[in-house]
Amino acid sequence: MLRRRRRDAGKDTRICEKGFAGGLRNRLAIRYAIQGDLRFISHQDTLRLFARALARAGVPVRFSKGFNPRPRLSLPLPRPLGVASRCELLVLEMDVEQDSAEVLSCLAAVMPTNIELLSAERLGDLDRRLPREVHYSLGLDPPSCRRAELAAAELLDQKSVLIERIDAGRGTAKKVDIRPYVLSVAIEDGTLRWAQAVTATGTARVGEVLTALGLTSENLLHRVERQDILYQP
């Protein structure tokens, strides 16, 4: 915590520069849905989109210190490229306290098509919004459903499911056990639904789960939708 000294009426007073009164950081969590072509923008591009929209809306976003100040924004669980979502979360810090409904209204007026703001709530300093579980869904044709049902039964019966994970940036590959991350798989009325654990060591990639279920991830990833994210209490 950065502090500076100020002399006022002969008294030495410490002033906290952490945020507004009481040292709080004035954090806000905005829940939103992303659909259509915007599901293909990257994690960094999503942050840039919100930074520009917040500036246009006049929201007093807090910036980092130093030679290259950046808006204090974060997406607690990055969204896989191409995956639509009904439950994304943006966490931001503001310089001054503002009503969450007012921030939501001002920001909604400048957001592009295919992003819908759903709600906003104030966060306490200790509320880190760490994800612990995420739910996905995917509509399938009858042959794919039958194939996925057989693969799901086999996957859930295994103690370990090793896949080869490629790091495109480094050009390397490693073996990863995705079984501990797959919590449940169900297929009903032509819709595949599954839940994944998110831990300190990571989680399974959506494409890896699809491959383990006998599906071609390259052809289906853009049809996956993130339905819900559960956070640690």
pLDDT in tens, 130-175: 999 999 999 999 999 999 999 999 999 999 999 999 887 777 889 9
> Lowest-confidence range among 46-50, 169-173, 190-194?
169-173
Kindly tell me if the per-residue pLDDT of 19 is higher than 90: no
Is-same-fold flag (14-123; 131-231)? Answer: yes
Kindly tell me if the per-residue pLDDT of 26 is higher than 60: yes
State how far the alpha carbon of 38 is from the alpha carbons of 45, 50, 205, in Å.
10, 13, 20
Model confidence at 12, in pLDDT bands (50, 70, 90)?
A: very low
- For the domain covering 14-123, report its CATH number: 3.30.70.580
| Mean pLDDT estimate for the chain | 89
The neighbour count for residue 84, using CB atoms within 10 Å, is: 21
Model confidence at 8, in pLDDT bands (50, 70, 90)?
A: very low
| Rounded CA separation 229/198 (Å) | 10
- Percentage of the residues of the chain whose pLDDT score is greater than 70: 90
Average pLDDT over residues 107-129: 94
Indicate the fold that domain 131-231 takes in CATH: Alpha-Beta Plaits (3.30.70)
Q: Which residue has the higher pLDDT, 111 or 127?
A: 111
DSSP 8-state secondary structure symbol assigned to residue 131: E
Taking the whole predicted model, whether its pTM rises above 0.75 is answered as yes
Domain parsing of the chain, residue ranges: 14-123, 131-231
> Lowest-confidence range among 5-14, 103-112, 172-181?
5-14
- Tell which residue, 125, 47, 76, 117, has the closest CA to residue 231: 76
- Percentage of the residues of the chain whose pLDDT score is greater than 90: 78
Q: Residues 78-91: pLDDT tens digits?
A: 999 999 999 999 99
Kindly tell me if the per-residue pLDDT of 58 is higher than 70: yes
State how far the alpha carbon of 112 is from the alpha carbons of 34, 37, 77, in Å.
10, 11, 21
| Rounded CA separation 11/6 (Å) | 8
| Rounded CA separation 54/57 (Å) | 5
Element (H, E) at 11: strand 11-16
Average pLDDT over residues 97-111: 95
Model confidence at 24, in pLDDT bands (50, 70, 90)?
A: low
Q: pLDDT value at position 233?
A: 81
Residue 59 half-sphere exposure, CB side, CA atoms within 13 Å?
33
* Residue in the block written with tokens 């490693």: 174
Q: pLDDT value at position 168?
A: 74
